[in-house]
Amino acid sequence: MNDEAATSASPGKSPASSLVLSDVDSGYGDLPILHGVSLEVAPAEIVAVIGPNGAGKSTLMKTLFGLLALRGGTMTFGDEDLGQISAARRAELGMAYVPQEGSTFPELTVYDNLAVSLLRESTLTQSRHINEMLESFPALQELRRARAGTLSGGERQMLAIASAMISQPRFLALDEPTTGLAPSIVQERIADIVAVRERGTSVLWVIEESPMLCLPHVDRVYVLNSGVLGPSQPAADMLDEELLQATFFGIDHHRE
């Protein structure tokens, strides 16, 4: 972990905080999905959640950001009880979320998509932050006048990440940001995510595809299977092709 980054904080936001989930239950209607999920993400740490399709990974992210009701347990970010606050308050705390298929406005240009995240800022501040973000994402600089709806899948994911980062969040949740992308584009998105951490931002990263490409850049990994989260382990311990294949087919090696 980057110690210098871990002690930094974005202007106007309080010092770096840990995300802590304890015994979280959640689901859809009468259908329970998550069962007693506990995890932690320290400041400036990249933590991955992996597991087979349907394990509850997106449910975890939606619950974390208040899109699904918390049925049991607690979720805190620093001193804040996430179960008691609004989406707007999460944003004020510096929490940002990129859902599974990104989040862009297809009729707006790349530049205007970035500006949407800065509507409360002055025009001068908007321009400065947008130009800084375009410098960090040179490919978007070339596409700044293009409508988001005309971008490729990889370009839209890059724009979604940039739109989340432009408000200088302290915590970023990414739900499968590399799904469906070619390996060369996956490497580009990985570089973007690593750069996010270098700014001092904590990252919770749901990985379903390309785990062998992604995990070398992660600090710790949790395996989610049938809504149950196992204990975290160093990412290096998961860099085994057979173990990963078994994990994504839903086999829990820790129980064998």
Q: What is the pLDDT of residue 251?
A: 52
**And the tokens for 208?**
């379903």
Q: What is the pLDDT of residue 15?
A: 55
**What is the SS3 assignment for 32?**
strand
CATH superfamily of 3-255: P-loop containing nucleotide triphosphate hydrolases (3.40.50.300)
Phi and psi torsions of 111, nearest 5° = -60, -45
- The reported pTM is 0.85
**Which tens digits make up the pLDDT trace of 43-91?**
999 999 999 989 999 999 999 999 999 999 999 999 999 999 999 899 9
pLDDT above 80 (res 14): no
Amino acid 94 reads G
pLDDT above 60 (res 208): yes
**What is the SS3 assignment for 147?**
strand
Return d(Cα 89, Cα 99) in angstroms, integer: 18
pLDDT above 90 (res 210): no
**And the tokens for 181?**
């992308």
**Which tens digits make up the pLDDT trace of 117-142?**
888 788 888 899 999 999 988 889 99
CA-CA distances (angstroms) from residue 127 to 54, 138, 156, 190? 41, 16, 21, 26
**What is the SS3 assignment for 80?**
strand
Return d(Cα 149, Cα 156) in angstroms, integer: 8
Q: Where exactly are the structural domains of the chain?
A: 3-255
H or E segment to which residue 129 belongs: helix 123-136
Task: Work out the average pLDDT over 152-179.
Answer: 91
CA-CA distances (angstroms) from residue 137 to 105, 140, 152? 18, 6, 15
H or E segment to which residue 135 belongs: helix 123-136
